[in-house]
Structure 1
Amino acid sequence: MNDPRKPMFWRDSRMPYVELRVVGDGRKVCYAPHSHSQWSLGAIVEGNSTFVYRDNQYKVSAGTLVIMNPEWIHACNPIDNQPWGYLMLYIDTNWLTNLRYEIGLLDTPCWQDISTAILSSPEWYAGYCRVAECLLRTDSELLEKQTVVVEYLTALMFELADQEVVSQPKPPDNLQVLAAYLKEHAIEEVSLDTLCEISGYSPGHLIRTFKHYFGFTPHAYLINYRIQRGQHELKQGIPIAETAFNTGFADQPHFQRTFKKLLAATPKQYRQSLLNQQIDTTGGE
């Protein structure tokens, strides 16, 4: 039987655009602020938690959906050691962009952020749980899983399309160049002097301005990106030690500590998918 205190992940190589995380007892699951390259949709199935999303903070409880745009900083943590369980869908951004474009919600196949952060509708929550249950059932056929995912997300995208479009301030060109530099040199040791030379800013001004536009300091941005790369490699089956080296960490223990700090799961837990396991998604006994 699965230990409900340990985070678990469902993946299927035939559906690379969707990943599901299951946490049955999240009282010991604590996140540092982080972001994902995917669009994320979570369901609180038990208890209460605090959802920090950019500059806002929400108290969310069972029956609530939380929505996270790609690369938006967030953290969701339990309140006073109260019971807390959740499901989290990670949807590939390019795949979801194409879905929204093909159904006529985007004029061009370019990602557009969604303004809604919280969805409290029982209907959408129940639909979410049905999707998760289908993905986790061992007797669900591939076509059934693909269908429920596309049907639910298509309907949800139409529901959210009436919301006001989010307009975020675009970083200056020099900061966009700097962010690209950090990604390109992610496995190297990067100095603040070099970043100042590239951006033309003083150290203090650079850190403040970069954080204003990206939500991270340059160093935190670099670490977050390394962990994103680490997730990708682990999903490909690359050994943990090799992934640590490939993503620029000094050693495997450093990679493991950082991975768990940001994602509240160890690299080993993340590698283990739930393709052939069945889990109760109701949050009950």
Structure 2
Amino acid sequence: MEKGPVCVTGGTGFVASWLVMRLLQHGYTVRTTVRPDPECKRDLSFLTSLPRASENLQIFNADLNKPDSFNEAIEGCIGVFHVAHPMPTKELDEEVVTKKAVQGALGILKACLNSKTVKRVVYTSSASTVAYSGGSQDLVDESSWSDIEFHRSLKIFGTSYVAAKTKTEQAILEFAEKSGLEVVTLIPPLVVGGFICKNFPSSVYLALAMILDQVPIDEMSQFLSAKYPDFPIPTTDFLKGIEGYKSCGFSSQKLLSSGFKFKHGLDDMFGDAIQSCRGKGFL
């Protein structure tokens, strides 16, 4: 792909901010979107201070509730990374969150199609879209789909997230098939590693809490609830055994068969995460 402009939605997040940095490093002109901040209090210096950002980074306001707000950022781009996702404010918000995620994603895809310049869209999905099929598989891959009703029957947190992510990916793939737009979906599990964003990524906190044994789970829940009021946080009850459900592994065979090679192991992932936490004053 040529080094023309690319768009990354949700630029203040853990994964998206890394994408912005790497794309800049590889010589791309990058446009990223952030939720509107009426009071202009959000500190975006971690993005604007990145190498090459002063020349090659533009930041746009856009909101998934208003899909047309992404048009300006996408117009003229050759590629789009759709990473932004609304987080549920409570389990009862499933319908609202799903509608926002699906309509926002479809609006972004329509903008890509209308641009006549976007050659490929990469959508960041989630392992939650394949992990809860209700079957007995030890290993699942991209051919599996989570059963939302099965997840709901487990009576654990996160059904809003599972439903929204699953239905959004399905809608995206259906749109791509009908329109001919080239779309690639990625299914990451828990994301762990160093981070450049300002907030403490919830996935990093959850991963470190499991190995550091320094923070009681209820205290961790309180911390995350304060930091991420829109994210459903597990409690001690969640960590107790769930009768009739066994977690599964995730196959990377399709990724590996495409030529991808893993370069970093657990030492890098957790070491970099701890270093970032210390550098930002979280540890």
Using structure 2 for the length normalisation, give the TM-score: 0.27
Q: Which has the higher strand share?
A: 1
Using structure 1 for the length normalisation, give the TM-score: 0.27
Which protein, 1 or 2, shows the higher relative CO under an 8 Å CA cutoff with sep ≥ 6? 1
